[in-house]
Structures are given as C-alpha cells and as structure tokens.
Amino acid sequence: MKNAIEVQICGRRYVLKGDATPEHAGRLAAYVDEQMRKLSASAGAVSSLNVAVLAALNIAEELFKVREEKQLLEETYEKKASNLIDLLSREMDPDPKL
C-alpha cells in the first residue's frame, strides 16, 4: 500500500505517495529544502524553477560521485579478495610446483 506523506520544500506543500516511511520522506525533503535554500540565498533573485534545477544538478553530481567511489571500492576489494584466495590456495597446496 502506498503511503501519502506531506512534506514542505521552500515553503511549498507536496504530497508524496510511495513506500517510504514518513521519517525517510521527511529527511529527503529536508535535504532538498536545504539545498534549494542554499542556492536561493547565494544566487539571489532567481525563479524557483531555476533553483530547483540547480539543486537537482548538484544532488545528481553528489550521487554520481558516490557511485564512482563505490565502484572503485568494489574493484579494490574484489582485487584484494582475489589476491587472498590465490595466496591461500598456494599455501594450502600439498604439492607446490616451483
């Protein structure tokens, strides 16, 4: 069942429907609100649409950076795991071939 959750972003009320808990939806809305308010304060008098688009771009950039970092970590750990497996295989081999 989809939850209807009311949030406020930059003074505007939005009703979100989804599976998120009210707490989670509230945290997301608060983050978006914070990003938009920061941009609005630094950009001065620009339309709310422009602020929303800039906030979306900034949040997308954060997401892409986190995904890239995650990918690098996964590759590093996969390589380390493979090296450990190779090392264990060599150490456990009863008939090492030199």
Range of the domain at 27: 3-92
pLDDT at 32: 97
Within a domain: residue 28? yes
Is 61 part of a structural domain of the chain?
A: yes
Whole-angstrom Cα distance, residue 96 to residue 88? Answer: 12
* Residue 79: closest CA among 67, 69, 87, 90: 87
Cβ(14)–Cβ(29) below 8 Å? yes
Assessment of whether the complete model's pTM goes beyond 0.85: no
What's the pLDDT at 98? 55
Say how many domains are in the chain. 1
Q: Is residue 97 part of a domain?
A: no
Q: What is the average pLDDT value for the chain, to the nearest integer?
A: 92
Start-end of H helices in the chain: 22-43, 48-92
Residue 98 lies in a domain: no
pLDDT on residue 94: 73
Q: Is residue 33 one of the residues assigned to a domain?
A: yes
**Burial of 58 (C-beta count, 10 Å sphere; 0-12/13-18/19+):** middle
39-79 pLDDT, tens digit each: 999 887 789 999 999 999 999 999 999 999 999 999 999 99
